Structure 1
Amino acid sequence: MPDTNETTVVTASREVDADAATIFELIADPSRQPEWDGNDNLEQADPGQRVRAVGDVFTMILTKDLAVRQNHVVAFEEGRLIAWRPSEVGKPQPGHEWRWQLEPLDDGRTLVTHTYDWTDLIDEKRMVRARNTTEANLRASLDRLATAATATG
């Protein structure tokens, strides 16, 4: 478990010049995620895994050692919210969560908030990486996502 004095929730936000539906499609389709992942952690995901509800599970192949991760969707609202908790295939979720929230602003602009929450992380092997996931990492994903969304929209 994290030290009780540690900050275990990291968040970054930015406005994107694209509508929420366009941005959400890039996030909810795992095969598109490696294009904009600012952590350079995602190698690939098979097409056809578009997330549609809480309880969905999608798989990703990581760049480091090409390990496969299952991502368990724990929050979902079409066009507005998606969150998942990764785990090794067939193993319990170690307790960290990636969350995306989209708030339409006006005329094709959206406020996008990306959060990494490792408050419940119990896997000691993942603590170093969790501690090294900073707002700058999240911002890199937001910036790449914005670029992809404006090119798409």
Structure 2
Amino acid sequence: MDTDQVVSARREIDAGAEVIFEFIADPARQPEWDGNDNLAEAAPGQRVRAVGDVFTMRLTNGGLRDNHVVEFEEGRVLAWQPSDQGSPPAGHRWRWELEPLGPGRTAVTHTYDWTQLTDEGRFARARATTSDRLAASLERLAARVE
């Protein structure tokens, strides 16, 4: 695995895992805290509940992405692989892991993994997704839930 192709950020947030998870698992809430400034909107009613779910997001550039859920544990883990609408996933993955630290405190790890990405046209954008961008998402998320 190329460590340059897996970036992550971790932050402790003063909120319970169940509260934080609702902001992550509801695509309509994701543009509120997106540190990549890439997400424009998602239709309400797409709350993720299981592996195999697919939610659709409109990007700031106007494009539509289907997001295929590949990991799910309620209140703890959520990961998805984006694709152009109607196409198979492109090979990159967004992952969230929540670790309760006690009442009202949670460690949140946000990871972007593009080790399986094969479309060279997406490499520049993938390289631009740095741990600082992921940390920005965590900061924005914390500001919403704390």
TM-score (norm 2): 0.98
1:56 aligns with 2:53: yes
Counterpart residue identity of residue 42, structure 1: L
1:94 aligns with 2:109: no
Aligned residue in 2 for 1:69: 65
Aligned residue in 2 for 1:28: 25
Aligned residue in 1 for 2:118: 122
In 2, the alpha carbon distance for the partners of 1:56 and 1:92 equals: 14
Whether contact under 8 Å (2:8, 2:112) holds in the other structure is yes
In 1, the alpha carbon distance for the partners of 2:17 and 2:77 equals: 10
How many angstroms does 1:106 deviate by?
1.1
- Structure 1: 5+ residue stretches without partners: none
| CA deviation map 1:74-115 (0-9, x unaligned) | 000000000000000111211000000000001200000000
Query: Secondary structure at 1:23's aligned position in 2?
Result: helix
Counterpart residue identity of residue 14, structure 1: R
1:47 aligns with 2:44: yes
1:80 aligns with 2:76: yes
State the percentage of identical aligned residues.
65
- Structure 2: 5+ residue stretches without partners: none
In 1, the alpha carbon distance for the partners of 2:134 and 2:60 equals: 17
In 2, the alpha carbon distance for the partners of 1:77 and 1:107 equals: 19
* Among candidates 131, 136, 141, match of residue 145 of structure 1: 141
How many angstroms does 1:22 deviate by?
0.2
RMSD value over aligned CA atoms?
Answer: 1.0
Counterpart residue identity of residue 13, structure 1: R
Aligned residues: 146
In 1, the alpha carbon distance for the partners of 2:94 and 2:2 equals: 21
